[in-house]
Amino acid sequence: MKRTATAALAVVLLATAGCTGESDGSGSSSGSVPGVTDSEIVVGTHMPLTGPAAAGYSKIAPATKAYFDYVNANGGVHGRKISYKIKDDGYNPANTQTVVRELVLQDKVFAILNGLGTPTHTGVLDFLKTNRVPDLFVASGSRSWNQPDKYPGTFGFNPDYTVEGKILGTYVKENLAGKKTCFLGQDDDFGRDSLAGIEKILGPVAAKESYVTSNPNVGPQMGALKAAGCEVVVLATVPGFTALSIGTAAKIAFKPQFVVSNVGADPTTVGKTLGAAAPLMEGLVAANYLPLNNDDANPWIQLFKKVNAAHNGNAEFDNNVVYGMSVGYLFVQALQAAGKDLTRDKIIEAVQKNGFQGPGSVPLRFSAQDHSGYGGEQLTKIQGGKAVYFGTPYTTDDKDAPVAPYTGQPVAPPQSGVPAA
Amino acid sequence: MTDMQQKASASTVPETGLNVPKRRRRPHPALVIVAGGILVVALTYVLPPFRNYQLATMGAYFCVTAGLTVLTGLNGQLSLGHGALMATGAYTLALTQNRWVNLPLSFAVAVLVTTAAGAVIGLAAARLRGPYLAGLTLAVAIVVPSVTSTFDETFNSDQGLSVILNPPPETIPMERWQAWLCWGAALVVVLLLALLIRGRFGRDLRAVRDDETAAKLAGINIARTQVLAFVVSAVCAGVAGALFAVLAQSVSPGAFPLTLSLFLVMAIVIGGLGSLFGALWGAVLLVLLPTLAQSVGEQTGSQQLEGNLALVVFGVVLVVVMLAAPGGLASIPSRISRLIRRNR
């Protein structure tokens, strides 16, 4: 009995601890909208700060936070400062469940912003919908975020992988016609959607292989592609596996033209993994839709570098930092558009109304019927160790729309670096 | 293994009343379970939603730690592969649920499939001892990601499967419903285990653990006892895995890594090997220690620390508990009462 009593006592103690934690949380939000007070907006995210996907991606959320700090230092949005809660889920869907619940139920965030990963974020869609939490600008190109009927509060950010696949396929068709084209992709929606886009343009590829992040060895796959006589290899890989694929191919004297998905092509991250073998990336073709980190003449890069120096401890300035800050900029635009009386419905309306002009080289597709993010990409090539844009940006959709050049002019950021209302 | 057994028996001997005169009859397990059930239901009304979710997670962990402590503590078989058995339960539930959307049916199928898996592994395990057994079960834990990527059309590789669930009745908040579900299952599992180990089967388990030759002489079928113990324990792990699939509304190999299996063993050792209350403590720690580590990590401001600190905290707690109370947390009350009696 004594043991039972002790156990019971302990559980009650835990319960009281839980209760006190709760009252602290609710005490800070006075208004009826969770996470919003007259002086503060609390938003949260889940990110792989540790684990298999941490390389490169772990820099995104700190960059977003740095941009918010910059906005806060310039007076905030409608007088409110943005507080960004970053939770590490280690790219493990079970952890994502826990941390997102903690953010929503305990920290009472206004919205989840830029949660990263297809497998991780898929698991929390229903939970966020039930709790009517805006789920903005998911950091993944899965098409699952674009289901306005099923998940009215969820919006993507990245161009979806099929759009990207169609654009990469168009490059191959126009510039590498007649060459034997093959594919290596991640064994999930990322790889499958990407391949679907490529095959829409090129027809069936000559050979296709897949990999899983839990097994860091692509020797058999690269061997098979070499044996199939591939001259062009399209990679739908995360940065670590882009490096692994290029390195493994070089080891077996396999020198195809690599064409790489945006999410796996940041030259800084891939180059660091390759180490001394980084020159192997020369000539690699990829795509992007945001300004490139080494384009010092670009006003966005100038702004983001300034923010990076002042609020991000001068972290190494790669494309992940550019990405994180672009997300921050878009969120501030959405907050400005939602107006002073911020509610969850209003920010969703504001995002659906769209009209955002930011660092992206192509427009965002948001509307009441479309919740997918950027609608296209422009090709890049690595020359002299640096990625540079070439050609024009292309836009298309994940269905049968043609891949069309986009002629809109890029905009410059406002003088203050903070989007106006 | 041997000293683990000694510790376990050291903690169980006084309670079975062999050398200490029996002072009080222990309450029937059913009474304790009913009391526990009332307590949990009360808690779900008091606690805020996120704490209810944590409570639900504790319930799911309790299923597997209870089964594991019976296997390791009472029968002396060390399993480093219970994470894989949980994955078996979780994937079975996901596949069944996505086909028929019938939760009780899915649970039943999950239990059946893990019974079969447990029997297969148990048959092999019964022939192995000590480090070889640990090695076999370790291999089972490691093989999960490869299985899911080899048969990716069924298991969808690293991305895993999402689980279709009907929402709970309108009036019950999601988190409360989850806590009820997990604790309902946990209490049933633990009650069955408690009833099972009270009787002849429990004595057989301990006899086989303590001395196989003596047990054989007493007419106990060693292999059958060991396989049965493994199957019982596997079923508990399968139920826990199924509960995790329901909680996370998804299954993926990343949710059942090798560290999970190791954490489970650590948890039952810290809690007190062979004791169901120890398993409860283990389950509580499995939820609380990572949370604690996370808040410490956040306070230090190092984002990278957060994900890794839980391992360190678990290790430190294990060392401290083993030094201070070799019988685990569950042995502390009886140690204290013994000290008091001795000083009287």
Summarize the confidence of residues A191-200 as an average pLDDT.
95
d(CA A34, CA A28): 10
CATH 3.40.50.2300 maps onto chain A at 28-159+296-374, 163-288
What CATH architecture applies to the domain B2-343? Orthogonal Bundle (1.10)
Summarize the confidence of residues A356-363 as an average pLDDT.
94
Give me the pLDDT at residue B3, please. Answer: 45
The length of chain A, given as a count of residues: 421
Summarize the confidence of residues A109-126 as an average pLDDT.
92
> Is B289 within 8 Å of chain A by CB?
no
Other CB atoms within 10 A of residue B41 CB: 14
Q: Decide if A51 and B307 are in contact by the 8 Å CB cutoff.
A: yes
| Tokens encoding A373 | 């993010």
Give me the pLDDT at residue B2, please. Answer: 43
| Tokens encoding A306 | 């300034």
ipTM computed for the complex = 0.81
Q: Decide if A214 and B284 are in contact by the 8 Å CB cutoff.
A: no
> Is B51 within 8 Å of chain A by CB?
yes
d(CA B110, CA B91): 8
Superfamily of chain region A28-159+296-374: Response regulator (3.40.50.2300)
User: Taking CB atoms and an 8 Å cutoff, what residues of chain A touch B47?
Assistant: 15, 18-19
Closest CA to B256 of B33, B86, B22, B1: B86
Report the residue of A1, A2, A11 to disrupt the B interface, i.e. the one with the largest count of B CBs within 10 Å. A11
Give me the pLDDT at residue A157, please. Answer: 96
Q: Decide if B157 and A188 are in contact by the 8 Å CB cutoff.
A: yes
Q: Decide if B160 and A119 are in contact by the 8 Å CB cutoff.
A: yes
Summarize the confidence of residues A213-230 as an average pLDDT.
93
Biggest CA–CA distance in chain A, Å, is 80
More confident call, B5 vs A119 = A119
Contact A214, A244 (CB under 8 A): no
Give me the pLDDT at residue B6, please. Answer: 46
Closest CA to B173 of B293, B13, B52: B52
DSSP conformation class of A105 = I
What percent of chain A is predicted at pLDDT more than 90?
Answer: 80
Give me the pLDDT at residue B23, please. Answer: 53
User: Taking CB atoms and an 8 Å cutoff, what residues of chain B touch A50?
Assistant: 304, 306-308
Give me the pLDDT at residue B306, please. Answer: 58
Give me the pLDDT at residue B76, please. Answer: 92
More confident call, A399 vs A26 = A399
Residue A52's pLDDT band (boundaries 50, 70, 90)? confident
pTM: 0.85
User: Taking CB atoms and an 8 Å cutoff, what residues of chain B touch A106?
Assistant: 48, 50
Residue A54's pLDDT band (boundaries 50, 70, 90)? confident
Q: Decide if A15 and B43 are in contact by the 8 Å CB cutoff.
A: yes
Q: What is the DSSP string of A190-256?
A: HHHHHHHHHHHHH-S-SEEEEE-TTS---HHHHHHHHHTT-SEEEEE--HHHHHHHHHHHHHTT--P
> What's the fold here for domain A163-288?
Rossmann fold (3.40.50)
Q: Decide if A49 and B303 are in contact by the 8 Å CB cutoff.
A: yes
| Rg value, chain A, Cα | 22
d(CA B185, CA B171): 21
pLDDT digits (tens), chain B, 344 positions: 444 444 444 444 444 444 545 556 778 999 999 999 999 999 999 999 999 999 999 999 999 999 999 999 999 999 999 999 999 999 999 999 999 999 999 999 999 999 999 999 999 988 888 889 999 999 999 998 889 988 988 998 888 888 888 888 888 888 999 999 999 999 999 999 999 999 999 999 999 999 999 999 999 999 999 999 999 999 999 999 999 999 988 898 888 988 899 999 999 999 999 999 999 999 999 999 888 887 887 777 665 665 677 778 888 999 999 898 888 998 888 888 888 888 76
What is the rounded end-to-end Cα distance, in angstroms, of chain B?
36
Summarize the confidence of residues A164-185 as an average pLDDT.
95
Q: Which residue of A has its CA nearest to B40?
A: A11
For chain A, what is the mean pLDDT? 90
- Residues with Cβ within 8 Å of residue B144, at least 6 apart in sequence: B83, B84, B87, B253, B256
Q: Decide if A214 and B304 are in contact by the 8 Å CB cutoff.
A: no
- Residues with Cβ within 8 Å of residue B319, at least 6 apart in sequence: none
Question: Helix/strand/coil (H, E, C) string of A45-97?
Answer: EEECCCCCCHHHHCCHHHHHHHHHHHHHHCCCECCEEEEEEEEECCCCHHHHH
More confident call, A45 vs B250 = A45
> Is B154 within 8 Å of chain A by CB?
no
d(CA A347, CA B340): 64
What pLDDT digit, counting tens, does each position of A380-420 carry?
A: 999 988 999 999 999 999 889 999 999 988 899 999 999 98
